[in-house]
Homo-oligomer: A and B are copies of this chain.
């Protein structure tokens, strides 16, 4: 038996294609801004991908690059300016932020209607309550698009999430619960992780420990979605040992899997924000 490689490429392209069509039909081009504090190389790479995708669909893109010594109040006044800028439909503050800045305070200051990262507490809270009309966090939204694209059954199934971050683990747990999965969240304090992962029909792994999920931890025929990305000897490596797992279960690759969907979900969110502003 062979199993599906849950590739993000075709899906990501089609999401961007849809966004491009929507943008071309809009009178005013949607505007996306990214605020980058400092010059962390990984962040610079991510921001560059976002810029390219935004421009490829015909959006306006603004990069606000601030020095790494920027104070919290300086950053907050930039957020305020973007909240009030009519040309900007959505913006994100690239994380992580330097130590002198309180991340929570900054996220709370972003207008929730322009929060295309979906990290504002009011958007998270409404999502938790089952209201998905809000802007959803980009990576979990990308995972849901993957689930829909590959018609992965989730209702009544056991979905196991490994990792409980605010940006992936917790929100994807909410979204899968909204779709009638029985959901288990595991993390660094979980004892006997394999006991849980082996019962998963759908396994989502978002930890950042290269190849921590091996074939013996996975049920035959399960769907395994790998969100981890760690540079190992210069190579992007997932949390799942793809080579062994793909012989036993459907599995998303790294690179070429969920990562691609995160950026396209951000672009979709910006279109959604622009449309709801009218």
Q: Which residues of A contact B (CB under 8 A)?
A: 104, 120-126, 128-131, 155-156, 164, 166, 170, 173-174, 177, 180, 182-187, 189-191, 196
Contacts and interface: CB of A to CB of B under 8 A. Distances in A.
Contacts of A189: 155-156, 180, 182
A78 B170 CA distance: 35
Contacts of A125: 120-126, 128
B129 A166 contact: yes
Contacts of A122: 121-122, 125
B130 A126 contact: no
A79 to B, nearest CB: 17
Contacts of A156: 189-191
Contact of A182 (B120, B128, B177, B184): B184
Nearest to A178: B164
Nearest to A124: B125
A128 B128 contact: yes
